[in-house]
Chains A and B, each alone.
Chain A
Amino acid sequence: MFASVRKWLDARFDWAALTAPLRKKTVPVHKLSHWYFLGGITLFLFGIQVCTGILLLLYYRPSSNEAFESVQYIMTRVQFGWLVRSIHSWAANLMIFTAFCHMFSVLFLRAYRKPRELTWVSGMILLFLAMGFGFSGYLLPWNTLAFFATKVGTDIAGQVPLIGKPLMIFLRGGEEVTGATLTRFFGFHVAVLPGITTLLILVHLALIQRLGMSVPPGVEAQRTAQPELSREMHFFPNFLLRELMAWYIALGVLGALAALSPWGLGTKADPFASAPAGIRPEWYFMFMFQTLKLIPAKIWRLDGEVIGILLFGAAGAIWTLLPFLERNGKGRSQRWILGAGIFALAYMASMTVYGYLAK
Chain B
Amino acid sequence: MDTSRNKYAMRLLWSLLAALLLGSVARAQTPNSCLDCHSALDPPYKVTGEQFSQDIHAQKGLTCASCHGGDPSKDDQDAMSKQAGFRGKIARKDVPALCGRCHSDGAYMRQYNPSLRTDQFAQYLTSVHGKLRAKGDEKVAVCTDCHGVHDLRPANDTRSKVHPLNIAQTCARCHADAVYMKGYSIPTDQFAGYSASVHHEALTVRGDLSAPTCTTCHGNHGAAPPGVSTVQNVCSTCHVFQAQLFESSPHKAAFESASLPGCVTCHSNHRIAHPTDAMLGTGAQSICTNCHTEGDAGYQAATQIAQQLDRLDTSVKGANEILDRAESAGMEVSDAQLEQDQARDSLTKSRVAIHSANPARVQQDVDAGLQIATKTHQEGASALKERDYRRKGLAWSLLAIVAVVIGLRLYVRQIERRPS
**Bind each other:** yes
Which residues in A have some Cβ–Cβ distance to B below 8 Å? 75-77, 82-83, 86, 237-238, 241-242, 244-245, 248-249, 251-252, 255-256, 259-260, 262, 264
Q: Is the CB of B401 within 8 A of A260?
A: no
Q: Is the CB of A76 within 8 A of B401?
A: no
Name the distance in Å between A274's Cβ and chain B's nearest Cβ: 15
Name the distance in Å between B335's Cβ and chain A's nearest Cβ: 10
Which residues in B have some Cβ–Cβ distance to A below 8 Å? 329-330, 332, 334, 390-391, 393-394, 397-398, 401-402, 404-405, 408-409, 411-412, 415-416
Name the distance in Å between B365's Cβ and chain A's nearest Cβ: 32
Partner of A248, one of B334, B391, B404: B404
Alpha-carbon separation in the docked complex, A252 to B393 (Å): 12
Majority secondary structure, A binding face: helix
Name the distance in Å between B308's Cβ and chain A's nearest Cβ: 35
Q: Which A-B residue pairs are the 6 nearest by beta carbons?
A: A76-B332, A262-B330, A259-B394, A252-B401, A245-B408, A241-B412
Partner of B416, one of A238, A251, A252, A264: A238
Q: Is the CB of A241 within 8 A of B408?
A: yes
Q: Is the CB of A248 within 8 A of B405?
A: yes
Pairs across A and B, CB under 8 Å, 24 listed: A75-B332, A76-B334, A77-B332, A86-B330, A238-B416, A241-B411, A241-B415, A242-B412, A245-B408, A245-B409, A248-B404, A248-B405, A248-B408, A252-B398, A252-B401, A252-B405, A255-B394, A255-B398, A256-B398, A259-B390, A259-B391, A259-B393, A260-B391, A262-B329
Closest A residue to B420 using CB positions: A234
Contacts of B398 in A (CB 8 A): 252, 255-256
Partner of B402, one of A75, A241, A252: A252
Contacts of B408 in A (CB 8 A): 241-242, 244-245, 248
Name the distance in Å between A53's Cβ and chain B's nearest Cβ: 20
Q: Is the CB of B390 within 8 A of A249?
A: no
Name the distance in Å between B339's Cβ and chain A's nearest Cβ: 16
Contacts of A245 in B (CB 8 A): 405, 408-409, 412
Q: Is the CB of B405 within 8 A of A256?
A: no
Q: Is the CB of B330 within 8 A of A255?
A: no
Alpha-carbon separation in the docked complex, A251 to B411 (Å): 20
Partner of A237, one of B334, B397, B415: B415
Contacts of A237 in B (CB 8 A): 415
Contacts of B401 in A (CB 8 A): 248-249, 251-252, 255
Q: Is the CB of B394 within 8 A of A260?
A: yes
Alpha-carbon separation in the docked complex, A237 to B408 (Å): 11
Closest B residue to A246 using CB positions: B405
Alpha-carbon separation in the docked complex, A271 to B411 (Å): 56
Contacts of B411 in A (CB 8 A): 241
Alpha-carbon separation in the docked complex, A241 to B410 (Å): 11
Closest B residue to A249 using CB positions: B405
Alpha-carbon separation in the docked complex, A242 to B416 (Å): 12
Alpha-carbon separation in the docked complex, A340 to B304 (Å): 76
Q: Is the CB of B405 within 8 A of A238?
A: no
Closest B residue to A265 using CB positions: B330
Contacts of B409 in A (CB 8 A): 245
Contacts of A264 in B (CB 8 A): 330
Q: Is the CB of A238 within 8 A of B415?
A: yes
Alpha-carbon separation in the docked complex, A262 to B394 (Å): 13
